[in-house]
Amino acid sequence: ITEQQRVYLIIVMLLCKKEELSLFHFTSELDVSKNTILSDLNEARKLVDNYNVTIRYSRKYGYLIEGEEFSIRKLLINIFYKIIEMPNGKSRIQALVNIKEDELNGLRQRLEKIENKLNLKFTDEKIETLPYTLLLVLHRVKINTLKTSFSIPYKELSGTKEYQATEELLF
């Protein structure tokens, strides 16, 4: 794989990690040397800087990605779209984040129900990629205990058909 592809994979590992990540984790996952990973981490730092997100190293916690959660999720979604363009990109994402095929199929079925409920028609590409995107964001929510506030009050959202569809999707 190319340097750019390794950078994307490193960022996903950082965004979706459940444990401390060291150089060893990156070298074993990507099958390259420590020097290559250090170079790739510098490139990853430059890329995430565009999202006002930083990568830093802590002896106690290993490599971390920090920033506003909304910016981090935006980064995650954008990087995901880069990775699925790679050969075996979807399977790499599934392996890195431990996404099961039955989870993807279940979300696809729920998305089809939502299409009918909201009288929408998603493109084939969206039906294929949206379950991954949702699972990645949900995974991020699970590993991140921060409370993220939104600028739209709950009462304004809760009565909409979109909110009801989202509840059905995420039950």
Exposure of 84 in the CB half-sphere (CA atoms within 13 A) = 16
Mean pLDDT by 10 residues, the chain (171 residues): 93 87 93 96 96 93 90 91 91 88 88 81 80 85 62 57 62 57
**What per-residue confidence (pLDDT) applies to 110?**
85
**What per-residue confidence (pLDDT) applies to 126?**
79
Q: What's the pTM value of the predicted model, to 2 decimals?
A: 0.80
**What per-residue confidence (pLDDT) applies to 155?**
56
Neighbouring C-beta atoms of residue 128, cutoff 10 Å: 14
